[in-house]
Structure 1
Amino acid sequence: MEIMKLEIISRQTIKPSSPTPDSKKIYKLSLLDLLTANRIYVPIIFFYQNKEGDNSVDVAQISSVLKKSLSETPTHYYPLAARMKDGVTVECNDEGAYFSEARVDFHLEGFLKHPEARDDLDLLVPGEIQSNSSDMGSLLLIQITVFSCGGIAIGLRSVRKVADAHSISAFLNDWTTMAPKSGEEISAKLTTFFQPGDSLSMPEA
């Protein structure tokens, strides 16, 4: 497979639209969480095909809706917008999640069908952890990557100490549900991209 070229378009921090209640400002980690190393960021990638077959995708519109819905979703998952305070607690200070946008000069279908695609998967998740230690960096990092065909990959890294597989699954389900409600600017085309359960898996080699 030819080398896939990725271009980062923007980077920013998305903060919750509503503040965390004072009663929930400090989140204490469980005993099981405490046994997990601080620096473990678990990656997840979801793929969404452009069902309309139109490569003239409005990236700005898609990004705007996803960021707006993302800002509304962490109000229910306040630790994801927090920062590690010490070894046993998380300070829910609404600092927000890391969000980046990227483009690749490759078709999604060709990428998914190619056995060597696994070699490039790291390009589709946020690669720049904001700190050498999760004590200072975002606990949730997201990258939206648009393929040349209009397909989209949504890559995430989350700190295992704060969010396990069940928590991230619930967060993603709520985020996908929130996206179509995020404003009149959303189009029918975007809805085809971001549907609960519409993700694709990497094929077996």
Structure 2
Amino acid sequence: MVRSTGAYALTPPPPRPSGRTSLLDRASLADAFEAACLVRCIRAEEVRQPTTLVAEFSSEAAATRLAELLARLGTPARSERVTAGVRRRYELHRLHVAEPGQPVVLSMGWRQGRTALLDPAAVGASAPRHARRQALAAAAWRAALLAAGRHVRTTILGVRIRDTELAAVLVRSANLLGSAASVAPRSGCLLVTVPGGPDRERVLRRSAERFPLAT
């Protein structure tokens, strides 16, 4: 059973101009890529049927962060809190947009950001381009730590996801942030892990930073 307990609204700042429609500018790319990673943390593929629902999180922090990103991208979302379950009650946090359909900016941000991180041609690129990839790497892990299922042990930091492409992005992102990462299959999901100690602390610290986007 699901019961709505009301909606909470966020006042969006003025939308950031995105310039060309086929290629996001650097600041918009970081926001769109992080937003796309948040959505991919909770489902294995994009929603195809027409719907105003963008995402449904068990974490209020993840929903709030996605709402902030969408507002900055000029696609404000309505936030809704609902309760679910019968014997064991829990809350869900949903984000809806005005028009049915996944915001196009998320698909653009995912494709452009994924290419920037995984394209072999990017290895050994200029310092500004490397700094830009680090900003995207931090955004990917920030999203995963907010929205994916946490798997924390004294020896590792891990997140559970179902999206194989996101798993590859997280492994590459950890490497760009100076840490090692690996992927292992688990029942119904993939477990992406970073070793404990300096590697884990580096990912946690750098994913909490807001990297400047080099020009």
Question: Do they superpose with TM above 0.5?
Answer: no
Q: Taking CA–CA contacts closer than 8 Å with sequence separation of 6 or more, which of the two structures ends up with the larger relative contact order?
A: 1
TM-score, normalising length from structure 1? 0.32
